[in-house]
Amino acid sequence: MLRRKDRVGLTIVASALAVANDNHADYIHTAIVDVFSIFADDLDGALRICDETSGDTDDRVAQGARRLHASLAEIDPVLRPA
């Protein structure tokens, strides 16, 4: 879902992250780093989507989006635009 890099995929991951126990959250965090640690543009887009989704009317999605945003904010991507 993360590799889609779109609102649908990130919303599904955010929803799962909201109810994940610590062990599952660690696996999700590893996947987040794997997908978004290369290109800064992909990371910026995901952060934007999480900002928008953090105000969702579904509390689980909103909470997960905030948690996903926090994970994404820790990433320092390898490749940035010239």
pLDDT of 4 above 90: yes
Q: What is the spatial distance between Cα 59 and Cα 82, in angstroms, rounded to a whole number?
A: 38
pLDDT tens digits for range 20-75: 999 999 999 999 999 999 999 999 999 999 999 999 999 999 999 999 999 999 99
Q: What is the spatial distance between Cα 52 and Cα 78, in angstroms, rounded to a whole number?
A: 25
Q: What is the pTM of this model?
A: 0.94
Q: Is the dihedral of CA 44, 52, 2, 22 positive or negative?
A: positive
**pLDDT on residue 82:** 83
Q: What is the spatial distance between Cα 45 and Cα 41, in angstroms, rounded to a whole number?
A: 6
28 residue type, one letter: I
